[in-house]
Structures are given as C-alpha cells and as structure tokens.
Amino acid sequence: MKALVFHGPGRKSWDDVPDPKILQPTDVIVKMDATTICGTDLHILKGDVPAVEPGRILGHEGVGTITEIGSAVTTLDVGDQVILSCISACGKCGFCKHGVHSHCLGTEGASGIGWIFGHLIDGTQAEFVRVPYAETSVYKLPTGVTAEQGVVLSDILPTGHEIGVRYGHVKPGDVVAVVGAGPVGLATIATSGLYGPSRVIAIDVDANRVEQAKAFGATDGVVSSDSDWKEQVIAMTDGLGVDVAIEAVGIGQTFQMCLDIVRPAGNVANVGVHGAPVQFPLQDLWISNINVSMGLVNTDTLGVLLALVAQGRIDPDIFVSHRFALGDIIEAYDVFGRAAETKALKVVLQA
C-alpha cells in the first residue's frame, strides 16, 4: 500500500510500504476513506515531537471502512464505516474506566499515552490502517454523516469541546474569549455555543481568521495586533474581564493574553501544545482565585458530538477548506503548511 512516511525532521514521502496486519485479537484493519492533516503533524515534521521515529506513518484522524477483524471483535464487522478516534483506548484500565482515555494504560505504543496513531504506532495518512482496541476506539458512522464530516470528529471537535469548553466550565451567560482561531480554536468556538454563553470573542493575529470565526458562532472578534486589543476585549464584558479565556495557539504569549483578560474567579483553559517553557506568574495570580486547566483530549465526548453533527446542531462542513485525493498528500501538506496564505483550515484527503 501507499502511506505518508516520516523520515526525520523536514523529510516525508508518499511511499510503498507493507500492508498492515492484525497483530492483536482486538484489532481491526480499515481501508481509509478520508483523512486529514493536523497542526501536530507539522510540529512532528519540525522535529518538535522526538518520540516519533523515522519510518513512522503519520496521521491520527480519519474515517475508514473495516476490511478485516480480529478474533475478539464482536461488535464491529467487515464493511462497517467508522470514525477513528485520535486516542486509542483499551477500555479496561483504570484511566479508561474513569474516562481519561488520553492516559490509557494499554501497552500499544507506550502505556499511559492514548495518542499513539502517527506518534508511537503507524497512523492514518495511509491506504490501510491497523486499529488497536477497535471496539473501544472507533465510532460507527451513522447514515447521513459523510466520511468527510466524520474526519472533524477524530480530534478537533472533541479537543475544543473537552479541553477548551468543558475544562473551562463555560456556562449560560458567560463571556468567553478564545485566543487562536485555527481549526482547534474554531472547534472551541463552535462547541461553546452548546452551553449558552452571552458572548464568544474570537482573538487572533490574523484578521481573516477573526472574521471567519463568526461563521462558527463567534459573536465578536478582536485582532490581537491592535495596540488596544485588551481594552477592546474588556469593553465586551461588564468591565471585570471574561468569565472564560481559552488558549488555542500553544505559545507563552497567548497564554499570558488569557491571564490578562480573565476576571477574578474566572477560568483559563489551555488547549495549545507548548514546545517551550511558559511563565506562570503565581506570585501575582494567587490572589485572583482563577482556575487554570490543561490537558490532552480524551475523545470521551466524541459520541455526543457525533449525535449533534447527525442532528445538524453542529455543522462540520465549514471546517473543510480544501479537498485532495489521498495520493496528492504532499501537495496537501504544502497548502496546509502555508495556511496564512492559502486560508487553509482542514484539508480533507479522500481515497
């Protein structure tokens, strides 16, 4: 089969590789119908994620059709079309039983890390994929939801919802600010609407992204290169600051921006993946009673979000900016990697 193989920092190619085989009785093999590229894949290619070894097939999102099932699999069948969660969960360990699938103690990849596709085991940017712990890690695609729509549920919608909105305790009437309006920030904006905030403020350096965020449910936007960006945000509250500030970029500067606009007793939810140490001025903040959260997505709300997509309560189509054939993935990486120029959000690759 063909797959997108990582050959060390800065190097990738669309290679001929052996077809995956069932290794455990709980595995299935899927033929990929649709997959996509994540900002995290770009981090890997920069060399920011050293755990990814050369030879690894990248990708952790996608929808596929089952072609083979392991001997222990009883609730899935050949021909089922399924969404692959970016988190592989054994469903049996202590963390899985508590819904913390991101720290699954199963021995695939590394015990204690649920994100293994395209990281510690071969991923989804391929014609075929071995899916471990299939019964507890995939979701059948309901009729009416397309493979392309399903792709948005593998990672970005659950991430925005769980690590942004739920960890940020968004509740009715809240003023919510989301710093960073990339795919993950937009997923945060879209799912915050489920909890009835009075205002959702999209903040980004890119004025185009700020404008785009309105289609996802942002009521207001602020361009963070404006010298008075902070005053603009505060003016959208009762003067005391936002109830919830969500960081969806992954740099110290944007985490600090969240601290600058949150009100005392508010919530700061960090979603971004940080590659460098971040200042945390506890000496100034202890008196503010703010709650700070962070985490790796669990995808424990993937099923709920899928139901909302199926009911038309969340529109997954607006996340998709570009479409490619799977074999054109190198071109798709180029377009996705120049998002500021190409205005790329999610690029979907169809088999």
Contact mark string toward ligand NAD, 204..233, x via CB under 6 A = xxx--x--------------x---------
Strands 199-204, 220-223: parallel, antiparallel or unpaired by DSSP?
parallel
Residue 206 touches which of ligand NAD, Zn ion, none (Cβ within 5-8 Å per kind): ligand NAD
Note whether 187 and 163 are within 8 A (CB): no
**148 forms part of the interface with ligand NAD (CB under 6 A):** no
**78 within 8 A of 47, measured Cβ to Cβ:** no
- Residue 272 interface partner, choices Zn ion, ligand NAD, none, CB cut-off 5-8 Å depending on type: ligand NAD
Residue 343 CA to residue 208 CA, distance in Å, equals 8
Contacting residue, 109, 185, 217, 266, with ligand NAD by CB under 6 A: 185
Q: Is 90 in the site for Zn ion (CB under 5 A)?
A: yes
* Binding site partner of 168, from Zn ion, ligand NAD, none, Cβ cut-off 5-8 A by kind: none
The number of angstroms, rounded, from the C-alpha of 312 to the middle of its chain's C-alpha atoms is: 20
Is the dihedral angle over the CA atoms 11, 157, 181, 246 positive or is it negative?
A: negative
- Dihedral (CA of 191, 316, 88, 303) sign: positive
Is the CB of residue 261 less than 8 Å from the CB of residue 241?
A: yes
Piece of the chain touching Zn ion by CB under 5 A; list 101-109, 138-146, 198-206, 303-311: 101-109
Out of Zn ion, ligand NAD, none, what residue 104 binds, judged by CB under 5 to 8 A for its kind, is Zn ion
Distance in Å, CB of 192 to Zn ion, minimum = 29
Shortest distance, position 120 Cβ to Zn ion, whole Å? 14
Residue 90 site contact among ligand NAD, Zn ion, none (CB < 5 to 8 Å, cut-off depends on kind): Zn ion
- Binding window for Zn ion (CB under 5 A); candidates: 17-25, 103-111, 142-150, 168-176: 103-111
Could you write out the DSSP letters of every residue in 271-327? -SPPSS-----HHHHGGGT-EEEE-----TTHHHHHHHHHTTSS--GGGEEEEEEGG
Output 66 or 170, the one with its CB closest to ligand NAD. Answer: 170
Half-sphere exposure of 285 (CA within 13 A, CB side): 18
Q: Which residues bind ligand NAD (CB under 6 A)?
A: 39-40, 155, 159, 163, 179-185, 204-206, 209, 224, 248-250, 253-254, 271-273, 295-297, 339
